[in-house]
Amino acid sequence: MLTSYFATPAHQAERRSLPLLRALAERYAGERPFEGLAVVMGHLLVRNTLVVAEAVLAGGAELILAEGHASPAAAPVIAELKAHGVAVLPNAEAVTRGELYVDVSCILGRLRLPTGAAEVTRTGVLHYQALNCPVVSADDCKAKRIEGFYGTGDGFLRAWRQLRPHDPPEGKRVVQFGYGKIGRGVAHRCRAAGLDVTVADVSVEARARAAGDGFDVLAAEATPELQAALKSAGVIISVTSIPGVLSRGAIPPDWLRAGGATLVNLGAEDEYGPAFEDAEILGGRGLPLNFHLANPTLNRYVDAPLAAHVLALEALVAGGHSPGIHPLPEAMDRWLVTEWRNAWPEEDLAGIGEELGLA
């Protein structure tokens, strides 16, 4: 059972590294905000997301674990769960067992309409906008920006080194499509690690911000300048949050192949699309590259957004939400950012402190 898994040394060690989630689990054990509710969880099942499961279970929920996103990193954890007698259900079966979803990229909502969902990705929010149910989104809260700014870029570099141990990323020329809240962090992390980054974006505002941050900038359009940059690149990264964007014809796919660059997807879904073969993309199209890691994002960067996802569920069950997308309440977001800073006071805030209200 889950309670026996939670007692294992591996889980206890993970729990200790996630102070915000641990605080929620301790509070929920007394308050029981999810008492009697059947909640389906669609997270990638790795060690830190099992602390999310602990918090939801502590709150009194009947918790149904779905397989979520397939990943090599999840396989050993799922095996451990099953060894403890914990059922991990195929997504299509899991959604029939509960009416509330803790969802990622709307992987559950696309299979069956819930009575309500807590979502944590931009991709998922875009899908839920077309569904007739209330959704509390942790995607655009300040706490999520911690993961976006620090975590995904760090995860990209760690995953590259795992998959390409004899091909260090330092010194490589990068063309990165997308400079949103996650792309901005990826570019900053890559530059700090010694990569030469050029940002390509369709948004004038995003390009202006990238230029202001000191990056070379190009419009994500079929121009000679972009063609030349792609041909000279060693790495091409897509982090736009738009599925299939690089197969939509605005930029010829052969431009991305011309220089033999390594193609990397850091979006929650495949951003390369059908014009590209799976084998052309490092790690394949089915997962963001960092999801090949046992810890796709370091716990110090993922604790706040994981806790935000749980708080989104708490806000949802508190009631009063009409169908549509609702933000995480500001007071919850403020608590997360403050507690994160208290837990890791040494983290460099350059480039993000003002956004978090900590500058």
- The secondary structure of the chain, three-state, reads CHHHHHCCHHHHHHHHCCHHHHHHHHHHHHHCCCCCCEEEECCCCCHHHHHHHHHHHHCCCEEEEECCCCCCCCHHHHHHHHHCCCCEECHHHHCCCCCEEEECCCCCCCCCCCCEEEECCHHHHHHHCCCCCEEEECCCCHHHHHHHHHHHHHHHHHHHHHHCCCCCCCCCEEEEECCCHHHHHHHHHHHHCCCEEEEEECCHHHHHHHHHCCCEEEECCCCHHHHHHHHHCCEEEECCCCCCHHHCCCCCHHHHHCCCCEEEECCCCCCCCCCCCHHHECCCCCCCHHHHCCCCCCHHHHHHHHHHHHHHHHHHHCCCCCCEEEECCHHHHHHHHHHHHHHCCCCCCCCCHHHHCCC
Output the tens digit of pLDDT for each of the chain's 359 residues: 899 999 999 999 999 999 999 999 999 999 999 999 999 999 989 999 999 999 999 999 999 999 998 788 789 999 999 999 999 999 999 999 999 999 999 999 999 999 999 999 988 999 999 999 999 999 999 999 998 899 999 999 999 999 999 999 999 999 999 999 889 999 999 999 999 999 999 999 999 999 999 999 999 999 999 999 999 999 999 999 899 999 998 999 999 999 999 999 999 889 999 999 999 999 998 889 998 887 788 999 999 999 999 999 999 999 889 999 999 999 999 999 999 999 999 988 888 999 899 97
Query: Are residue 132 and residue 169 in the same domain, yes or no?
Result: no
| Residue 227, CA distances (Å) to 94, 138, 163 in order | 46, 37, 27
Q: Are residues 10 and 139 in the same domain?
A: yes
Q: Which residues pair with 180 in a beta bridge?
A: none
CATH number at residue 109: 3.40.50.1480
Q: Is 165 exposed, middle or buried (0-12, 13-18, 19+ CB in 10 A)?
A: exposed
Structural domain ending residue among the three candidates 247, 281, 315: 281
Residue 54 one-letter amino acid: E
Q: Are residues 60 and 119 in the same domain?
A: yes
**Does residue 149 belong to any structural domain of this protein?**
no
In a domain, 152, yes or no: no
- For residue 123, the one-letter residue type is T
Specify whether 201 is located in the same domain as 270.
Answer: yes
d(CA 182, CA 303): 16
Establish if 228 belongs to a structural domain.
yes
Same domain, 123 and 37: yes
Q: Which residues span the domain enclosing 209? A: 165-281
> How many residues does this entry show for the chain?
359
Both 170 and 270 in one domain: the answer is: yes
Residue 287 lies in a domain: no
Q: Which residues of 127-149 are buried (b: 16+ CB within 10 A; e: fewer)?
A: bbeebebbbbbbbebbbbbbbbb
Shared domain check, 259 and 185 = yes
- 7 belongs to a structural domain: yes
Same domain for 38 and 73, yes or no, is yes
Statement to judge: residues 26 and 138 lie in one domain: yes
Picking from 224, 255, 281, the residue at the C-terminal end of a domain is: 281
pLDDT at 170: 96
CATH number of the domain enclosing 223 = 3.40.50.720
For residue 260, give every residue at least 6 positions away whose Cβ sits within 8 Å of its Cβ, in sequence order, or none.
Answer: none
Q: Across-strand partners of 64? A: 40
Whole-number Å distance between alpha carbons of 49 and 302: 10
pTM: 0.79
**Among candidate residues 281, 311, 344, the one where a domain is terminated:** 281
Domain co-membership, 277 together with 302: no
Q: Is residue 286 part of a domain?
A: no
| Sole residue written with tokens 């990622």 | 104
Report the distance separating Cα 243 and Cα 263, nearest Å: 15
Do both 72 and 138 map to the same domain?
Answer: yes
Q: Is residue 159 part of a domain?
A: no
29 shares its domain with 91: yes
Residue 25 counted as domain residue: yes
Number of domains in the chain: 2
**Which pLDDT score is estimated for 123?**
87
